Chains A and B, each alone.
Chain A
Amino acid sequence: MTAPADVVAPPPAGAERQEATTTANGAQASGPLRPDRKVDPTYYWMIVPVLVLFAFFSTIPALIGGFFSFTNYAGYGDWKMVGLRNFQNIFTDPEILASYAFTFFFAIVATLVVNVVALLLALGLNSKIKWKTGIRGIYFIPMVLSGLIIAYVFNYLFSNTLPTIAESLGLAPLATSILANEQWAWAAIVFVTVWQAAPGATIIYLAGLQSISTDVYEAASLDGAGAWRQLRNISLPLIAGYVVINIILGFKGYLGTYEVIVALTGGGPGTATQSVAMRIFSGFAGGDYSYQMANAIIFFIITLIISLLQLQILRRREVSL
């Protein structure tokens, strides 16, 4: 996440060479130590093929897709330009608007819950517990498992096991599957997302907590600060930067949420849990390629604005730290 700073910061060995190139001004000025002052073609061989692949698999499709968002292309057959009509229709399409509302609601809730859980886990795993390696090992298992398959396992738990348990306990409201409940199906999706994503966020918090010198805590406890005050006045402020990174990375990821929903609700009941990504991916099956491309462009602009705002916050944060 230090990317923006890196853009302007030259690498350690760069300064000397920069000087050399300006004086050389294109002519050969190779000293004995730097026979490669005129850029060795090998460097181009290292980067150009990757640039070509990169353009082919990301930039070109993005441009082609952007073009078709101004057409009425269905994914096959003839098409003609329709100007901004797709975009106009999207803003009055209740199903698309609902998918945006759901996606943002889900992303905000998931970001909050994942970070609270991950922070608590990191504090617990960083404390003086017995069998630390083993316990950490258990908590990080979800990181290596397929989210889709885990969501299928939870699908069974939510739709068969929990209702059976609730029934035998006489809890009538819980006796039906939460996944079939239009109002609460999102909670199940958040739960599985947290189960899956918390370990990754926990690792970032653990890295942050371990970067704090134990001296700081010792000094604080000498001054009579208890565990709670140490947490509030030392740990949390010192890992604030890690919180920002986790929120930015997490929020962006949860906006594109897909496989957990596919395995839990398939977007249902009805379209109650349909994410923007799911709507866009349906572009071919639904025969509305150009319409969903326009949707994708809008989604791109929204996420771009959010990313830029977040970068701004991140930069201010780094200054104040």
Chain B
Amino acid sequence: MTAALTDLRPELHGPAQLDSPRAAKLRRANREGFKINWWMTALMLVASLTILVPLYFTVSMALKSPEQAASGTGFAWPADPHWENFSQAFVMTNYPAAFMSTAVITVISVLGSLAASSMVAYAIVRNWDRKFFRLSYIYFLSAMFVPFPVVILPLIKQTAMFGLDNPLGVAFIHIVGGISFNSLLFIAFLRSVPIELEEAARLDGASTWQTFTKVIFPLLAPMSATVGIFAFLGSWNDFLLPQMLIADPSLQTLPVVQQLFQGQFNTNYSLAFASYLMALAPTLVVYLFAQRWIMSGVMRGAVK
């Protein structure tokens, strides 16, 4: 395409006839810069401070003595780091319990979302000619139009009635809430999977279930990564559902615990920020190590 355009150019524009393709290329390179745009780099670095400064602030506050935290703007680096803030916050908020509760919700909703939405997507795509499956598809999709505030009040009553006012109930609702979007992602992906692969397995005598687990599910891996990342971030950071549904405060998740302790935190800010930092740390650490993987997964979701 480029070559063709360069060749055509002299005919299209008279005065440019003097340009050899090479000169044009060089000029273009100078004009729009195939080399690094340093001004833009500097601008983006400066602007990234809006992200980094609040994070720095959280770390520096978490390490201060309560007296230093209460004075000044909070930006000063801690005079002597008070690591014991973390152990204090750890004990006070019962961090291990909150962490476990959050982790249980996250693991169940990630695995459940993957299993449920991939099976739903497979059943729908392979039986598109059946009314039952088409209607199921429309039923799942229609839920995307129902905003969460509409179901929450009856849902609180219902989960309490069935003994699901605990992390397990929250995880279930995460799975159900994500079905529409997640199976949509899987369906879009499944339609690009050639049916021949499956037919080969069938010829070898594989049942539907075996075909799904041995052939289809492994093929879905890239989209499973995307669905898994969304489910992980959504359930780990969720505040609304656990706050509304979990009755026992000792089973509350990390974000909700931060809210429950606001009363105590308002008298000791360094303790508050130590607790915030510990609650933010798990996803931050995962992000640092799996950044490339997470980005490509999210990007795949954006394209679909």
Which A residues lie at the B interface, using CB under 8 A?
2-3, 6-7, 10-14, 17-18, 21, 33, 35-36, 39-40, 42-44, 46-47, 50-51, 53-54, 56-62, 64-65, 68, 75, 121, 124-125, 127-131, 133, 135-150, 152-154, 156-157, 160-161, 164-165, 195, 203-204, 206-207, 211, 213, 215, 217-219, 221-222, 227, 252, 255-256, 258-259, 262-263, 276-277, 280-281, 283-284, 289, 292-293, 296-297, 299-300, 303-304, 307
Q: A62-B146, A283-B153 are in contact. Are A207 and B302 (CB under 8 A)?
A: yes
17 contacts between A and B (CB under 8 A): A7-B137, A10-B129, A33-B202, A43-B126, A47-B133, A57-B172, A61-B151, A62-B151, A129-B41, A142-B51, A144-B237, A146-B236, A148-B258, A206-B302, A219-B1, A222-B6, A222-B24
Q: Is the CB of B36 within 8 A of A129?
A: yes
- Within 8 Å CB of B276, what residues of A? 149, 152-153
Q: A130-B38, A203-B298, A218-B5 are in contact. Are A292 and B153 (CB under 8 A)?
A: yes
- Within 8 Å CB of A139, what residues of B? 48, 51
Which of B40, B73, B190 is in CB contact (< 8 Å) with A124?
A: B40
Tell me which residues from 249 to 304 in chain B have a Cβ below 8 Å from any Cβ of chain A.
Answer: 254-255, 258-259, 262, 269, 272-273, 276, 279-280, 283-284, 286-287, 291-292, 294-295, 298-299, 302-303
- Judge whether B79 is part of the interface by a CB distance below 8 angstroms: no
- Judge whether B52 is part of the interface by a CB distance below 8 angstroms: yes
Q: Is the CB of B128 within 8 A of A10?
A: yes
Q: Is the CB of A64 within 8 A of B239?
A: no
Which of B48, B137, B255 is in CB contact (< 8 Å) with A148?
A: B255
Q: Is the CB of B145 within 8 A of A64?
A: no
Q: Is the CB of A13 within 8 A of B34?
A: no
Q: Is the CB of B299 within 8 A of A46?
A: no
Q: A142: nearest residue on chain B (CB-CB)?
A: B51
- Within 8 Å CB of B124, what residues of A? 47
Q: Is the CB of B127 within 8 A of A39?
A: yes
Q: Is the CB of B258 within 8 A of A124?
A: no
Q: Is the CB of B179 within 8 A of A50?
A: yes
Q: B202: nearest residue on chain A (CB-CB)?
A: A35
Q: Is the CB of A161 within 8 A of B73?
A: yes
- Within 8 Å CB of B9, what residues of A? 222
- Within 8 Å CB of B116, what residues of A? 50, 53
- Within 8 Å CB of B190, what residues of A? 11
Shortest Cβ distance from A16 into chain B, in angstroms? 9
- Across the A-B interface, the 7 shortest Cβ-Cβ residue pairs: A61-B154, A46-B119, A42-B208, A65-B154, A146-B237, A129-B41, A144-B283
Q: A35-B202, A153-B276, A284-B156 are in contact. Are A58 and B54 (CB under 8 A)?
A: no
Q: Is the CB of A299 within 8 A of B40?
A: no
Shortest Cβ distance from A129 into chain B, in angstroms? 4
> Of residues A148, A157, A281, which shows the largest number of chain B Cβ atoms within 10 Å of its Cβ?
A148
Mask, B125-168, CB within 8 Å of A = 1, is: 11111100110111111011111111111111110000000000
Additional 4 contacts, C-beta under 8 A, given A12-B191, A64-B154, A144-B286: A129-B41, A142-B51, A144-B284, A256-B147
- Within 8 Å CB of B52, what residues of A? 138
Q: A47-B124, A293-B153 are in contact. Are A60 and B208 (CB under 8 A)?
A: no
Which B residues lie at the A interface, using CB under 8 A?
1-2, 5-6, 9, 24, 28, 31-38, 40-41, 43-45, 47-48, 50-52, 54-55, 57-58, 61, 72-75, 116, 119-120, 122-130, 133-134, 136-141, 143-158, 172-173, 175-177, 179, 184, 187-188, 190-191, 195, 199, 202-203, 207-209, 212, 233, 236-237, 239-240, 244, 254-255, 258-259, 262, 269, 272-273, 276, 279-280, 283-284, 286-287, 291-292, 294-295, 298-299, 302-303
- Within 8 Å CB of B199, what residues of A? 33
- Within 8 Å CB of B44, what residues of A? 124-125, 129, 135
Q: A129-B36, A156-B74, A222-B24 are in contact. Are A53 and B175 (CB under 8 A)?
A: yes
Which of B134, B139, B145, B158 is in CB contact (< 8 Å) with A307?
A: B145
Q: A216: nearest residue on chain B (CB-CB)?
A: B1
Which of A33, A125, A152, A277 is in CB contact (< 8 Å) with B149?
A: A277
Q: Is the CB of B284 within 8 A of A141?
A: yes
Shortest Cβ distance from A182 into chain B, in angstroms? 21
Q: Is the CB of A289 within 8 A of B6?
A: no
Q: Is the CB of A221 within 8 A of B284?
A: no
- Give the CA-CA distance A10 to B292 in the complex, in Å: 35
- Within 8 Å CB of A140, what residues of B? 291, 295
Shortest Cβ distance from B182 into chain A, in angstroms? 11
- Give the CA-CA distance A127 to B39 in the complex, in Å: 11
- Give the CA-CA distance A256 to B150 in the complex, in Å: 10
- Give the CA-CA distance A142 to B58 in the complex, in Å: 14
- Give the CA-CA distance A252 to B149 in the complex, in Å: 12
Q: Is the CB of B129 within 8 A of A14?
A: yes
Shortest Cβ distance from B47 into chain A, in angstroms? 8
Shortest Cβ distance from A291 into chain B, in angstroms? 11
Q: Is the CB of B151 within 8 A of A65?
A: yes
